[in-house]
Chains A and B, each alone.
Chain A
Amino acid sequence: DGGITQSPKYLFRKEGQNVTLSCEQNLNHDAMYWYRQDPGQGLRLIYYSQIVNDFQKGDIAEGYSVSREKKESFPLTVTSAQKNPTAFYLCASSAAGTGLPYEQYFGPGTRLTVT
Chain B
Amino acid sequence: SQQGEEDPQALSIQEGENATMNCSYKTSINNLQWYRQNSGRGLVHLILIRSNEREKHSGRLRVTLDTSKKSSSLLITASRAADTASYFCATDAWGGSEKLVFGKGTKLTVNP
Contact = CB atoms under 8 A, between A and B. Distances in A.
B50 A42 contact: no
B54 interface: no
A97 B98 contact: yes
B98 A94 contact: yes
Given A41-B104, A103-B33, A109-B40, A50 B45 contact: no
Interface residues of B, number: 24
Interface in A63-115: 88, 90, 92, 94, 96-97, 101-109, 111
A103 B58 CA distance: 15
A21 interface: no
Tell me whether chain A's interface is mostly helix, strand or loop, or mixed. strand
Contact of B100 (A4, A90, A97, A104): A104
Chain A interface extent, by class: 20 to 34
Contact of B45 (A90, A96, A103): A103
A103 B40 contact: no
A37 B20 CA distance: 24
B58 to A, nearest CB: 12
B45 A43 contact: no
B43 interface: yes
Given A45-B99, A48-B98, A104-B100, A109 B105 contact: no
Interface of A: 4, 31, 33, 35, 40-43, 45, 48, 50, 58, 88, 90, 92, 94, 96-97, 101-109, 111
Given A33-B99, A104-B35, 10 more contacts: A4-B42, A42-B88, A42-B102, A42-B103, A42-B104, A45-B101, A48-B98, A96-B98, A101-B31, A108-B41
